[in-house]
């Protein structure tokens, strides 16, 4: 029974993390740009309309999927990005999947 509950929770959690969300083009304008990361790296967000791509440390572009308001995951779900607009700037929280 515990295994069944754990499997159901895992399925629910996985599907909740990959549910697409629509960000309007004006919201996307909030996140496009280059961000300095606390580990010394850089994150560049490029976008058109409501589509976005991320480049981490100048690497290959990774397509982003919206999962919430100003919240994205890469297609391989290895990166989870959450943006918070502040006066005169936007902060980004980057979480990496193990």
Residues 62-95: tens digit of each pLDDT: 999 999 888 999 988 889 999 988 888 888 889 9
88: Cα within 13 Å, side-chain hemisphere:
0
**Per the structure, how many domains does the chain have?**
1
Token code pair at residue 25: 């083009």
In this structure, is residue 4 part of a structural domain? Answer: no
In this structure, is residue 62 part of a structural domain? Answer: yes
The mean per-residue pLDDT over the stretch 54-63 comes to 92
In this structure, is residue 2 part of a structural domain? Answer: no
CA-CA distance, 43 to 51, in Å (whole number)? 16
pLDDT band at 30 (very low <50, low <70, confident <90, very high): confident
In this structure, is residue 6 part of a structural domain? Answer: no
Chain mean pLDDT for the chain: 79
Domain that holds residue 87: 20-96
In this structure, is residue 27 part of a structural domain? Answer: yes
In this structure, is residue 14 part of a structural domain? Answer: no
């Amino acid at each position: 029974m515990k295994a069944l509950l754990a499997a159901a929770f895992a399925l629910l959690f996985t599907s909740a993390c990959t549910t697409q969300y629509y960000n309007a083009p004006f919201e996307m304008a909030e996140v496009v740009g280059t961000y300095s990361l606390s580990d010394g790296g850089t994150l560049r967000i490029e976008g058109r309309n409501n589509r976005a791509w991320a480049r981490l440390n100048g690497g290959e572009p990774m397509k982003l999927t919206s999962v919430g308001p100003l919240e994205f995951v890469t297609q391989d779900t290895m990166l989870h990005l959450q943006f918070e607009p502040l006066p005169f700037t936007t902060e980004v929280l980057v979480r990496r999947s193990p």
